[in-house]
Structure 1
Amino acid sequence: MITPDALGPYLDPAAIFIVAGGTLAATLLRTPLRDVGRGIAALATLPRRTLDASPLIDQVAALGRIAKRHGVHTLDRSVIADPDVAAAIARIVDGATPADVTRLLDERRRARILRHTGAADMWAGMAEVAPAMGMVGTLIGLVKMFLAMQDPAAIGAGMAVALLATLYGALIANLIAMPIAVRLRRRARAEAEERSRLVAPLAALAEYGQPRGSVVAVAAA
Structure 2
Amino acid sequence: MSFSTLIGLFLGLTIVLLAMAMGSSILLFINVPSIMIVFGGTIAATMIRYSMAEVFNAIGMSFKVLKPTDDIQDLSQLIDLTEEMLRISRKGGMLALENIEVNNAFYRDGVRMLVDGYSKDLVQQSLKEQNKLLVDRAETSSGVFSAIGDAAPAFGMIGTLVGLIQMLSNLSDPSTIGPAMSVAMLTTLYGAMIANLFALPMADKISSWAHAEANRQHLIIDAIESLASGHNPAVMRDLLLPYLQGKKAKSEALNGKES
TM-score tier, shorter chain, comes to 0.7 to 0.9
The one-character-per-residue Cα deviations of 1:118-173 (angstroms, maximum 9, x if unpaired) are 22221111001111211221122122212322211111211221122122212211
Q: Distance in 2 between matches of 1:113 and 1:43?
A: 14
Q: Which runs of 4+ in 1 moved over 4 A?
A: 47-50
Q: How many residues align?
A: 209
> Is 2:73 the counterpart of 1:51?
yes
The equivalences for 1:123-138 within 5 A come to 123-138=145-160
Q: Distance in 2 between matches of 1:154 and 1:196?
A: 62
TM-score between the two structures when normalised by the length of structure 2 = 0.71
Q: Distance in 1 between matches of 2:30 and 2:116?
A: 62
> Is 2:185 the counterpart of 1:166?
no
* Residue equivalent to 1:14: 33
Q: Which runs of 5+ in 2 are unaligned?
A: 1-17, 232-259
Superposition RMSD on alpha carbons, in Å?
2.4
Q: Is the 8 A contact 1:46 1:183 kept in 2?
A: no
> Is 2:55 the counterpart of 1:30?
no
Q: Is the 8 A contact 1:19 1:165 kept in 2?
A: yes
Query: 1:100 deviation in Å?
Result: 3.2
> Is 2:177 the counterpart of 1:155?
yes
* Residue equivalent to 1:140: 162
Relative contact order (alpha carbons < 8 A, sep ≥ 6): 1 or 2 greater?
A: 1
Query: 1:113 deviation in Å?
Result: 1.0
Partner of 1:197, secondary structure, is helix
The one-character-per-residue Cα deviations of 1:6-32 (angstroms, maximum 9, x if unpaired) are 434433221122111211222233222
Query: 1:107 deviation in Å?
Result: 1.4
* Residue equivalent to 1:101: 123
Q: Distance in 2 between matches of 1:126 and 1:51?
A: 30
Query: 1:54 deviation in Å?
Result: 2.8
Partner of 1:193, secondary structure, is helix
**Greater mean deviation of Cα atoms: 48-57 or 197-206:** 48-57
In structure 2, what residue type is equivalent to 1:102? Q
* Residue equivalent to 1:214: none
Query: 1:177 deviation in Å?
Result: 0.6
Q: Distance in 2 between matches of 1:101 and 1:57?
A: 19
In structure 1, what residue type is equivalent to 2:52? L
**Structure number with bigger Rg:** 1
Q: Which runs of 5+ in 1 are unaligned?
A: 210-221
The one-character-per-residue Cα deviations of 1:95-124 (angstroms, maximum 9, x if unpaired) are 444433332322111111112222222111
* Residue equivalent to 1:82: 104
TM-score between the two structures when normalised by the length of structure 1 = 0.82
